[in-house]
Amino acid sequence: MLKFKLIIAYDGTAYEGWQVQKIGTGVQEKVEAALARLFRSHPRLHSSSRTDTGVHALGMVAHFEVPPGECPMTPRKLVLAINAWLPEDVRVVSAQRAPAGFHARFSASGKQYRYYIWNHPAMNPLLRHRAWHVPRPLNLAAMRAAAALFVGRHDFQSFAANPGYRVASTVRTLSRCAVVKKGPLLTLIIEGDGFLYKMCRGLAGTLVQAGLGRFPAAEIAEMLNQRDRRVAGMTAPAHGLVLEKVFYNRPKLYAS
C-alpha cells in the first residue's frame, strides 16, 4: 500500500467539527468524498486531531493508504486533484509520501493551537468568524502572568469539558502558553503534547477573565489542584480557535 500524509486547512464555520458526523457535516466527510472521486478503494482518512464545531485549522494532518496501482500521480498533482473536488472552505495544502510506520495521530509529538481575541469596543467585521470579540480592556500583564502558570506538566481536568467517554489521564504537558499583542488583536499561542476536550477554549476563557480582573493570576494553581471544571474560567467561543500545526519527530519535555 502507498501511504500519503496530507496537511489540510479549513474554515470550520459551516462544519460540525472534523469527524464524520451522524447529524451535520464534518470536514473529514468532504475530504473522503473527494478521495472517493479519485480512488476506487475509497480510502479512509486518519487524522492527527479532532476539532469541535466551528473550530478552524491551518495544519490538520491526516493520512490515507491506497493500492500502488491506483495512484500514478505525483504528490503535487495529488493536491490539485483533491482540491478540485473540495468546497472552497477546505483545502489540502500539501501532500507527501509517508513511510509505512507513520500514523497521523500516534506519530505526533505535539500540537500548536492559536486563539484569537479582538480587544476593541468595535468588532473588526473581517474577523467576526475568526476571533472572539472582547470589548472591555484586558490587562495584558495579568493574562501573561496567568498563562505562565499553565506551562509544565499538570492535571488540566478543571479546564476541560466532559467528552462523554472515559479518559485514561487528564494530565498533559504544555511547553508554551503565550499572549502576543498586535494592536487590538491578541493571540494566545498554546503548545503541548496533547489536549483534552475543549481544553484550549477553557484556557482561553480563563485567561480572558484574568485579564478582566475576575480573579488574580495566582488562583490558577488552585484551579489546577481542584480538578473541578466549576472552579475555573469560562469556555471561550469556538470560532476563535485554530489548529495551527502538528509536530512530528520532536522530543517531548516530559515522559508520558
Longest dimension (CA), the chain: 62
Closest listed residue to residue 29, CA positions, set 21, 40, 37: 21
Q: Which residues pair with 247 in a beta bridge?
A: 110
- Grid cell listed for 156: 488540566
Q: Which of 52, 89, 155, 228 is catalytic?
A: 52
- Grid cell listed for 171: 494530565
- Grid cell listed for 182: 498586535
89 is catalytic: no
Backbone angles phi, psi at 46, to 5 degrees: -120, 120
Catalytic residue numbers read 52
